[in-house]
Structure 1
Amino acid sequence: MTTPMNPTIEIKILDDRLRQWGLPQYQTPQAAAIDLVACLDAPLVLKPQQAAVLIPTGIALHMNSDHLCAVILPRSGLGHKKGLVLGNSMGLIDADYMAQCLISAWNRNPAESGLDITVQPGDRIAQMLFLPIVRPAFVVVDEFSAPSERGEGGFGSTGVGR
């Protein structure tokens, strides 16, 4: 059932191997994100500190909403245990983007470590989280309408470790 908190999103399968490997899905009943797999034809070796590589997911989306986006995030275990992270920290998928979703993958291990990461075809290597979008109207002002307790305090202005 489509509701504002549970919208319908169309998914196009671009790689038929996903039907065998498993379509993107939530792995547990309360999982926040769906897992994305590497739609590769052969294993991909990521060398430490080399340039990020774009890995196809085999899917495209049609969100059809001004108030929705998706973000691609690393899978926490792969980043913590192996050093596989996203080359752009996270990937933003706008609601009007309808081409294949790609994962920018990077091996963050130190260059001298020699810790290669091999991504196999069908590996779950990232996750996609859908988020609501607020699109405020902007009003240009010379002065703000009210002060705040913090004001213009920036980096470190609220203390360290408090």
Structure 2
Amino acid sequence: MKYCARCGSEYRDDVERCEGCPSHPPLVSAEEMHSRGLPLPHELDRRVFVRAATTDNPLMVEVFAELLEERDIPVFIRAGRSGVVDKLTTGNLLPWWEILVPEGEQERAALLVERERAQEAATNDEAVRAAEEEERETEPDASPPPSP
């Protein structure tokens, strides 16, 4: 088989030039493709990435991506925005991020992200309670001063 080094198309051995490319470049062998660092069509990554989670917090998207990468789950982060219709119906045009993972890892990734969300919520609740307790301890006593 011969291949186009420009578009990667595969041709029979009797074909000399790529018919799909505008400049009709000459075709090369599989060995030549590899020597140029180009993959053959059957060597391309064909994984399908699907949504495992979304977030509207730019810091949490980084936390989630790092968590998944630590567990050897490939991650793509896609930033987006609400659509025009959302702005018309809700008045909001908020940023959001999609966390995309390979299809076979979707369940595992979603579970890991949800666990991280729950842990983050618990940590936030604990921090709020500690701050409220500290505020109560530092407030001046509201009782009247003792009588002489």
Check whether TM > 0.5. Answer: no
Superposition TM-score tier, normalisation by shorter sequence:
under 0.3
TM-score computed with the length of structure 2 as normaliser: 0.25
TM-score, scaled relative to structure 1 = 0.23
Please say which structure displays the higher CA radius of gyration. Answer: 2
Of Structure 1 and Structure 2, which has the larger fraction of its residues in strand? 1
Structure with a larger share of its residues in helix? 2
Q: Quick one: higher RCO (CA 8 Å, sep 6+), 1 or 2?
A: 1
